[in-house]
Homo-oligomer: A and B are copies of this chain.
Amino acid sequence: MIVLFTDFGLAGPYTGQVNAVLHETAPCVPVIQLFADVPAGQPKPAAYLLAAYAAWFPAASILLCVVDPGVGSARRGLIAEADGRLYVGPDNGLFELVLRRAASPSCWEIGWRPPVLSATFHGRDLFAPVAGRLARGEKPAAMASRTAPRGYPDWPDDLPEIVYIDHYGNALTGLRGECLPATARLAAGGRSIPHADTFAAAAPGDAFWYVNSNGLVEIAVNAGRADRICGLAVGSAIEILA
Which of these binds chain B: A27-35, A140-148, A180-188? A27-35
Q: Which chain B residues border A30 with CB–CB below 8 Å?
A: 23, 27
Which of these binds chain B: A36-44, A81-89, A102-110? A36-44
Given A8-B167, A20-B32: A119 and B210 interface contact (C-beta under 8 Å):
yes
Given A40-B167, A71-B199, A213-B118: A57 and B13 interface contact (C-beta under 8 Å):
no
Q: Which chain B residues border A118 with CB–CB below 8 Å?
A: 212-213
Query: A32, B16: Cβ atoms under 8 Å?
Result: yes
A112 at the interface (CB under 8 A from B): no
Given A17-B56, A198-B120, A199-B69: A9 and B214 interface contact (C-beta under 8 Å):
no
Query: B11, A33: Cβ atoms under 8 Å?
Result: no
The residue in chain B whose Cβ has the minimal distance to the Cβ of A200 is: B73
A156 at the interface (CB under 8 A from B): no
Q: In the complex, A88→B109 CA distance in Å?
A: 43
A72 at the interface (CB under 8 A from B): yes
Query: A12, B37: Cβ atoms under 8 Å?
Result: yes
A205 at the interface (CB under 8 A from B): no
Query: A72, B125: Cβ atoms under 8 Å?
Result: no
Q: In the complex, A32→B125 CA distance in Å?
A: 17
Taking a contact as CB atoms closer than 8 A, the residue among B19, B32, B41, B213 that contacts A223 in the complex is B41
* Nearest Cβ on chain B to A199's Cβ, whole angstroms: 7
Q: Which chain B residues border A233 with CB–CB below 8 Å?
A: none
Instruction: Taking A11-B167, A120-B198 as given, write out 20 further A-B residue pairs in contact, using a Cβ cutoff of 8 Å, ordered by the A residue number.
Output: A3-B20, A9-B168, A10-B10, A10-B11, A11-B35, A12-B37, A14-B166, A16-B34, A16-B35, A19-B33, A20-B32, A23-B30, A41-B168, A70-B200, A71-B198, A72-B198, A119-B198, A121-B212, A121-B213, A124-B213
**What are 23 inter-chain pairs, A to B, with CB distance below 8 A?**
A1-B23, A3-B20, A9-B167, A10-B11, A11-B35, A12-B166, A14-B167, A16-B32, A16-B33, A19-B32, A24-B58, A27-B30, A40-B167, A41-B223, A69-B200, A69-B223, A71-B198, A73-B200, A119-B198, A119-B213, A120-B199, A121-B213, A124-B213
